[in-house]
């Protein structure tokens, strides 16, 4: 799930609106914040949007357009690991209590864990606003790959070696509010 969080005045951790990239995990939604300018810059570097649109009020991303094609070159984005979010955000759009802003869905889809590393296969929905009944959904087409790596040293997972990391095995608790590198490319 990718939500755009338009930040309100009472959100204490940041005053910058951002994308929340969320993945269903055991204890909630594993969440990373990506500011639009970083996403736009990554898209511009691959030629998905013109360089002149980065950071402008005319930017492509905030106008509900979204990258659908698989870039030839992977997108590398710096993201901030946030505390796990509640699963209600899988279905919720609108104002956030306490004047902390509002969220709207940008995209959703499916992911599956790759067994050999901190990497996911991603299948985005065909339409960002579509509400799919996952039990009746057609077989997703996994055409994107998303890998995770901390920018600052984090302790290794307790049960697995570094080459065997999976997103559900990474100890994200040590990485809260730390920068992570997300790389999105073809599967």
Whole-angstrom distance, CA of residue 32 vs CA of residue 84: 9
- Alpha-carbon Rg for the chain in angstroms: 16
The per-residue b/e assignment along 26-57, b for 16 or more CB within 10 angstroms, e otherwise, is eebbbbbbbbbebbbbbbbebebbeeebbeee
Provide the 8-state DSSP code for 130.
-
pTM equals: 0.69
Q: What residue spans define the domains of the chain? A: 2-186
| Structure confidence by residue, pLDDT tens digits, 107-136 | 887 877 776 566 777 777 654 333 344 444
Q: What is the mean pLDDT of residues 60-68?
A: 47
Structural tokens at position 83: 């505390």
pLDDT of 157 > 60? The answer is no
**Residue 44: enclosing H or E segment and its boundaries?**
helix 36-45
Please report where in the chains the tokens 């002149």 appear, as a residue: 52
| Structure confidence by residue, pLDDT tens digits, 48-61 | 655 555 555 444 44
**Residue 22: enclosing H or E segment and its boundaries?**
strand 18-24
Q: Given pLDDT bands bounded at 50, 70 and 90, which one contains residue 160?
A: very low
Whole-angstrom distance, CA of residue 116 vs CA of residue 68: 26
């Amino acid at each position: 799930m990718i939500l755009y969080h338009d930040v309100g005045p009472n959100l204490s951790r940041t005053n910058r609106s951002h994308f929340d990239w969320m993945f269903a995990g055991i204890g909630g939604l594993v969440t990373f914040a990506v500011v639009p300018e970083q996403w736009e810059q990554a898209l511009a570097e691959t030629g998905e949007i013109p360089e002149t649109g980065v950071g402008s009020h005319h930017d492509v991303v905030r106008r509900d357009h979204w990258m659908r094609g698989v870039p030839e070159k992977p997108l590398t984005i710096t993201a901030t690991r946030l505390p796990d979010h509640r699963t209600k955000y899988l279905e919720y759009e609108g104002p956030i209590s306490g004047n902390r802003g509002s969220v709207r869905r940008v995209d959703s889809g499916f992911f599956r864990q790759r067994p050999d590393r901190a990497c996911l296969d991603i299948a985005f929905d065909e339409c960002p606003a579509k509400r799919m009944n996952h039990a009746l959904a057609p077989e997703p087409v996994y055409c994107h790959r998303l890998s995770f790596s901390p920018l600052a040293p984090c302790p290794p997972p307790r049960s697995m070696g570094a080459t065997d990391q999976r997103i559900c095995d990474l100890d994200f608790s040590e990485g809260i509010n730390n920068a992570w590198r997300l790389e999105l490319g073809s599967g």
